[in-house]
Structure formats: C-alpha cells, structure tokens
Structure 1
Amino acid sequence: MVNPHRVHRAASMIDVARRAGVSAQTVSRVVNDRPHVDPATRARVLEALEHLGYRRNPAAVSLATGRYRTIGVVASTLTTHGAVLVLDGMTEEVARHGYSLTLSPLRAPTLGAVSEALTSFAGAGVDAVVLGVESELVRSLPRPLVPGLPVVVVDGAGTTEGPTAESDPAPGLLAAMTHLLDLGHRQVRHLAGPPDSATAARRRELWRGFLTGRGLDVVEPLVTDWSAASGLAAGAELLRTDPAATAVVAANDQVALGLVRACADAGVRVPDDLSVVGFDDVEHAGVAVPRLSTVQHDLREVGRRAVRQLLHDLGVLPQAPPWPVPSAFVPRESTAPPPSPPPSPRAGQQWSNSYPGTPRGSRSRSR
C-alpha cells in the first residue's frame, strides 16, 4: 500500500545526468548557464531537467560556486520613463538567464548616498552591479567602485570604468536636425536636460555642432529636468521670449509633450506655428495630438545589454554585447515647414537659460 504521507525525494543532479546520458559536471554547466556545451547536449539536459522537475537549491549553489545569481542595481531615479524602460529590459534579461535583480533606489542622488548603496552591495550577495547615476557622480566615487565585482555604468559617458550601457544619439538626432532644415527651418532651439547628465550633454553638443557646422544661430538652450512639467514651464518661457523660433528639439519626449501643452495654452499651433521633436519614442509619443516626431532608441535593449555585459564579465556568456545601441529618427505629425515669413523678435527680447516656476505669457503665430 502506498503511504500517502511519503515525502518524495527531489530529483538530484545525478538523476538528471543519468536521464540525459551525460556527466553531472555537464548538467552543472547547463544549470549554471555556462558556455562551451554542445547545443544538442544542452537540449537533452534541459529536457531531463524539465521531465524530472529538477529545482536548484539557491543556498547550495551559492556555497558551491561562490555565485548568488543576483545583480544589484543602484538607481538614481525611477520617475522618468527612460529609467523605467532600462530597468524593464534588465528584468527581462536576468530572467532569461536564471538571475534576479536587487534594486537599491536612492532617496537623493548624492555622493554619500551612492557610496552607501555600493558599499551595501559589496557584502550583500550580488555578483555584479549596474550603476544608474549621472556621470559627474561616477567620476567622484572612490575606486574600485565595488571591490571584486564587475560594474556597468548607465549614462556613463566620460567615465573610465570600461563599457557603459548607453545608446548613440547621433544617428537619430542628426537625422532629425536634417529633417528640420530640409523643411526650411533656420531657427531651431533646444530644451536641454539637466546640466549634470552625460546623456543631456551629448544631445546638447550634437544639436549645437549641427547648427554651428551650417552657419546657423546657436541660442543657449533652456534647461529642464526631463519631466513634462519642466517642459511645460520651459516651453511657456520659450514662447514668451523667443518668437523667432520655428522649431524646437526637446531633451526627451516628456519635455516635448510639456512643450506641446504650453503651445496649446498659448494658442500656438503645432506644427503650423512651431515644429517639435522629442527623444526616446515613448508610447505616448505615437498617440499624442499631434503625434510626436521623435528620435527612437531602444532603452529596453540598453537594459538587456547591460545585463549581458555583466554576464560576460562573470564568464557566463562568451561574448560581450556591442555598444552603443543605435538610434533613428521617426517623423510624425509634429513637424512641418515653418511659417512664412517667420516673425521677427520684438525689440529688447532675449533668450533666457532659466524659466519661471509657472508658465506665463502667450503668443499667436500664423502663416
């Protein structure tokens, strides 16, 4: 008679090896996602694992391999759409390889807070770290960032930590600028991201270099904090102080959508009176009114490649991913030829590099 209270022994690695006709060492390599296993052999082992219901003991694996199969993430913000997409890509990729994420969000992106987060990871059972903070902070941190652990920096342009998880804004942004000039625009302004962001600095340099290379006026950009609210405020200031502008390239789509709202509040038509280009190609960009022309880059792919880079550094994957992730321009409804003739600035008006806390002023433009 079968004892209903009998506890069945869990399948062991040896059981899996016997069923697959391989050594226990080969099973171990497959279970731990190691390279240099013949694809047909790997398939047999995976079938045996599934058939026998093999489940790894995380504590035993950590003791045997010195690995925790966990990647730590230090995040300076989770409030921007871009940061969420990068994290989503990392979550997707670690799951594919049987790893997990441990997230350490910062209450404030200060040097002390980042140092504390990295120190906590040094003894907290993680195998590698993704550092998602601005480059200025990274350059100020003591070296090594996390002793004994590989680190990949997101938004790390200008750092010397090896590979940085980033996209290349040049192809898409230069195509967007060419698009605006082909439409006839000669007064292309910029709403820039935060001054301490390497990402914002790179986009600002590309915008400036493009205009300078074609002998066009470069007016100092207004500064935003990546949010739609800051785009709304900066947009209101732009409309009030710079009626000569016929096109604006925004730091990201959220800032661009805030600018579009400022235009609606001021009775300025997009794109009839002002063309607007964003950056990121977030979901809302394709359903906004008007649909937003933008620079598209795959931020989820940035997150996926960041994980693959760390797994390569750990010896799990044989090849490192290519960097950076490319970008492309997506023209939609928010860009059109400029008004003809464009209005001239009123006497005494100047561009400002700051903006008030609340939008004020308006302008109306017509063809």
Structure 2
Amino acid sequence: MASTTVIEHPSPESTVAPNEAVNADDPQWTAQEDTLTLSGGRTISYSHVGPHDSEIVILWYHGLFSVGDASNPSQPIRSRNARYIAPTLPGWGDTSPLAPGTTFPETVVADTRAILEHLYPGHDPISSSMRIYVAGGSFGTCPAQVIFGAPYDKFPFGKHIVAVMLLAPMSPPLEDPNYNKSLKWPDWFSVGAPSRIVPFNLILRSAKMAIQSKVKDAAAAERFLRGLYFDNMDDEEKARFAEWRERRGTAEGDFERRMAQGMVRSVSNGWAGFLGTADALHSDWGFRIGDLDEDHQRKQVVIAVGRGDTSMFNMSRFLVNTYKRTTVVEYEGGHLSAAWSMDKIWEDTLAGSGA
C-alpha cells in the first residue's frame, strides 16, 4: 500500500532565505560547463557547481527545449555544500544523439554513470557514503525516473539514491493504462497514441517545422515562451512569481530570458532530442514501478504539480498511487508553478532525509 503525504502550496512566510545569503562570493558556486567524450565517440555536455568532494549530490534533468544548467542552485543546496550536476540529455545542446541501436533510457543511465565516474574518480559507488538526490521537470521526470529505478548492476550509484523529485511529472506509458486519457489534446496528438501510429515520425517532424522559427534566436524564443506560459498566468500565479523573483533577487524578465536562451541552445546543433521525445517516453524505462525491489521502494518520491497543469496533474495520479512512498506538493497554477516554491521543496526534501 502506498504511503502518501499531500502538502498544499506553502505560504511565502514558510520559504527559506534568498540564494545569495549563503556562499554568495565563493567561486565554487560559479557553475562550470564541461563535455565528456566517451570511448564510442559520443560527447556528453553537463553543468555542475558546488564542492568537488561533496558526497551530497543533486542530479537535475531538464525538460524539452532546454539544456543542463547548474547555475544559481537553491539556497538549501548551497547551505548543505551539495554538488549540483545537470546533464544535457541526448540530442539536445552539445550532447550527442543516441548511438545507433541504443535506447534513450539505457543511454541516460550510461551517460549519468560516466559523468559521476569522471567527477568522482576512484570513488567506489558501492561502499561510499554518497547521498544522491535525483530530480527533473516535465519531460525531465522521464530520465529522473529511469535513473531512480535503474538496477544497481547497471547504475551502481543508484544504491545511494535517497529520493527523487518529480516536478510536473510524466508517467511511463508502458505502465500507466490511462496515459492517453490524461493528456490534453495537443499533448495526446504529439506524444500519445497518434505518435505510435503515424509513420516516419511525421507528427514531431511537422511540429519541428512549426516551431523552428520561434526558437531561431533568444528574442523570438522569449516571445514564444511569454505567449505559451507567462501571459496566461492568472493574477494569483503572477503574484507568486513576483514574490519568488524578489526572494531570489532576480530582476523582472531575467527568468524568461534565461529560459529563452536555453531553448535556442537546446536545438543549436540539431533536433534529434526533440524528434526522439515520443520514442523516449514510450520506450521501456528499464523497470516497472510495481516490481521495484524493497530497497528501491523505501526511497522517497516527491511529486510537485500545479492543479492547472492538466496533463501532468492527471498523470501524477498514477505515480502517486503506484510508487510506495510519495510526498505530493500540489499548487494552484500551471506548468511552471512548482518553480515558485523550489527552495521550500528542496529544504523539506533534504531536511526530511537527514541531509
């Protein structure tokens, strides 16, 4: 039987102090961007920040039209001197597409293992005291769950995963019988049943043609984002967004600009990541939630979702009912609403696990 805790959207008074309050001038909190070349010739791009010898590790997986970005991590992460690592997923940004004959889940596992082995050379992933927290947003909750549920023989570092945080989560289509029913029409058409029926990936190829001009540069991408998300926020959500910016010392417009820049970077070397979205979601993620062993099942699953984010809210119900230990943070608001309380979510997750 699943153990579930539901938390309402926290009030502003319950949030923690601004990021800048901790280690503001320490150069180790300036994010580095690196690439790792694998033996087969693929390259992995990743961003990382924090003490290089820290054994508290945060793995963050980005969503669609984004790249790994470890800059300006939440204050609870800094205050614990955790290391924050954000890989760029296959086919996005400077990370190579999937190698022929490989799948998205197995590549994500292999890439993440390679990054950790590179950043922690000589580190025994079995006997170490490392504590790993896995997190992802939207499409990034697919690779986050893949890593969380990966068998330890394929991902030995998984033994030290404490919790997974899923923001605006997606459920695995191979397991969720109501996956298609959960999706709003545009989502259903692009990554639901039609994506499995229409040949030659024509749906996403058509979507690429429609989107290309909207991400040709940062200005166009920002206009696209504002029309898609920010202009459609109600007054309450806009107020929470403004309070969050003030708390973090973020100037108005900076968040939108950074998102837009990430969109442009994400497809600067090609569209393989986007075109592989439906295949990635519908692939075998390497495990079944209901069949996870006892060690995996004891770990915490934090699910944060806006009630107005219809597709993700509906899919989150399957995850809440299927994972064994879930904490659910529900918000009024849409797809980006979890961002406004990330400091609080991280503080609760880290403190609740003894970090």
Tell me whether the two structures share a fold, i.e. TM-score over 0.5: no
The alignment's TM-score, normalised by the length of structure 2, stands at 0.30
Of the two, which has the highest radius of gyration?
Answer: 1
Higher relative contact order (CA 8 A, sep 6+): 2
